[in-house]
Amino acid sequence: MIYCHCLKTKGRESMNYYECMQESINYIETMIYEEIDLNKAADRAFMSLSNYYRLFFAIVGCNVKEYIRLRRIHLAAQDLLSNDCSILDTAVKYGFTSADSFSRAFKKATGFLPSIFRKQERQYIFERVDIMDKYFEEQDLELSEKYPDIKVLKETGSFYGAAFRADSKTPENDAFMGLKEWFDRNNIGDIMPDYRVYGYDIPNSGKEDGTYGYEVVVTIPDDFEVMGEGVVKKHFEGGLYAVTETTVGDIVKAWQRFISWLDISRYEMGAHQCLEEHEIDSGFLKRDFENPENIRINLYMPVVKRSQTEYGKVTLQPVRVAYYREYGNDSEQTAHNVFKVMLTWAKKNRLDCSKCKMYLYNHGFTKVKKFWFEIMITLDENFVFQDDLIQEKIFEGGKYLTYDTSLSHLMPSWQKVNQYAASNKIKSGKHQWVEEWNLDNWECPGKGIKIYFPLA
């Protein structure tokens, strides 16, 4: 999933990088019997030549010169079987300087010299690449006409990346600078020529002073050992993605358009990682740190087909709980403190983790003067305790829509549940939303998290 900086002049409709590359392949195919200028091919993709070489290999699976050579061998093989043209005439037709050079290239691709290939009536196939068919899901015509800029990629594979996180008032710039230094120092461009660069906000990282977290990732080989201060190796799951082209300054508008598209599509929000893919040249190697809002990116929203999602409905009965709430200026630190207090208390009192349930909720997305978190642990009716920090109350429960997820997918899963409720006109109740954390021996991160969305 690599972004390409390009703009379709027809109606000024933006194209994602797959469409850009298809334009280039279309040009190559029209010139297959002529001398092909790769600078013009790169221009058709709206890329620099160096970026074009890199991205062509990443998308098509072979370099552009090899693609041209194998396409010509494919067509030459058809000619050898369908007519009596000489090998020299065939060589000249497809741009080879001699029959010998053609024969060597032909044997390398097919395993046979042209004369033997023709005599034995062999077959060699290297079809024209259709990127749109290869990478994109077929879309509803009405939806495509209303949202021509949004496409859905077919299932993508997982990948490993080297990630650098920054927390500041300008974390995007800081993260890009930090990763770029590591990238140059470790010669990643030579180790993985078809590397890709992604970025994303860190959920719940905002602080009262205006700082927040952002992480930048460059793809690396699966077996590459990451070493360096501040850089960690991460694994990213694949999945379905809806993709659109935008700028850093217009990300919010692009997300709003995504949400509108979701309402009438056959998809809903997925739980895998949201991604912003930055163009290699202007977005990474020569990034404009003074005017980053003008940097063009491809925005990837994780999606799943609606039929693949499983939701439940339950009614939680009122239950006696022990709870602890803490307020603070640092969201992450406050959450850490609450977990530490409650889990230490649960272990100290030897509560049975398999019988007790632990619920969490917090300030959510509302604007508050101080962040706060609360954890509740259900209690056996005979359990009695006294503690200076931990208090007791009745959690009233209520009717809930439920969805199972994990810690790494928690934020996108909440977005998914809210989108599901909105799309299906499910009314939210006024009672408290909660997350049930399923732990082993009161240790995080545990086996999973169940989201409880209150129902009216």
As averages over each run of 10 residues, the pLDDT of the chain (456 residues) reads 36 62 93 94 89 86 93 94 91 93 94 93 90 77 82 87 95 95 94 92 84 95 90 92 89 89 84 89 87 86 77 94 94 92 95 94 82 95 92 96 87 84 87 94 86 96
How confident is the model at residue 14, as a pLDDT? 56
HSE-CB at 326 with a 13 A cutoff on CA atoms is 18
Per DSSP, helices labelled H in 63-135 are 64-82, 87-93, 99-110, 114-119, 131-135
Q: What one-letter code names the amino acid at 199? A: G
HSE-CB at 298 with a 13 A cutoff on CA atoms is 29
Q: In terms of C-beta distances under 8 Å and separation of at least 24 residues, what long-range contacts does 378-381 make, across chains too? A: 378/319, 378/320, 378/321, 379/319, 379/320, 379/321, 379/322, 379/351, 380/355, 380/356, 381/320
Question: The tokens of 171 are what?
Answer: 């974390």
Task: List Cβ neighbours of 118 (8 Å cut-off, separation of 6 or more).
Answer: 80, 81
Question: The tokens of 122 are what?
Answer: 């062999």
What values do phi and psi take at 226, rounded to 5? -90, 125
Q: Taking a C-beta distance cutoff of 8 angstroms, is the pair 339, 407 a contact?
A: no
Supply the DSSP symbol for 36.
-
Q: At what angle do helices 64-82 and 49-60 cross, to 10 degrees?
A: 60
How confident is the model at residue 308, as a pLDDT? 60
Cα–Cα distance for residue pair 410/412, rounded to 1 Å: 6
Class of residue 429 by CB neighbours under 10 A (exposed 0-12, middle 13-18, buried 19+): middle
How confident is the model at residue 9, as a pLDDT? 34
Cα–Cα distance for residue pair 315/310, rounded to 1 Å: 17
Q: By three-state DSSP, how is residue 67 classified?
A: helix
Cα–Cα distance for residue pair 227/280, rounded to 1 Å: 22
How confident is the model at residue 5, as a pLDDT? 36
Cα–Cα distance for residue pair 18/162, rounded to 1 Å: 24
Q: Token match 């409650």: residue?
A: 342
Structural domains present in the chain: 17-120 (1.10.10.60), 151-305 (3.20.80.10), 312-454 (3.20.80.10)
Cα–Cα distance for residue pair 352/54, rounded to 1 Å: 56
Nearest-5° Cα angle at 155, 298 to 21: 45
HSE-CB at 135 with a 13 A cutoff on CA atoms is 22
| Among the listed residues 307, 330, 304, 167, the one whose alpha carbon sits nearest the alpha carbon of residue 237 | 304
Q: Is the peptide bond before 445 cis (omega within 30 degrees of 0)?
A: yes
How confident is the model at residue 3, as a pLDDT? 34
How confident is the model at residue 12, as a pLDDT? 27
Q: Taking a C-beta distance cutoff of 8 angstroms, is the pair 92, 99 a contact?
A: no
H or E segment and range at residue 53: helix 49-60
Q: What is the CA radius of gyration of the chain?
A: 28
HSE-CB at 239 with a 13 A cutoff on CA atoms is 21
Q: How many CB atoms lie within 10 A of CB 231?
A: 22
Cα–Cα distance for residue pair 294/247, rounded to 1 Å: 6
Question: The tokens of 350 are what?
Answer: 């030897």
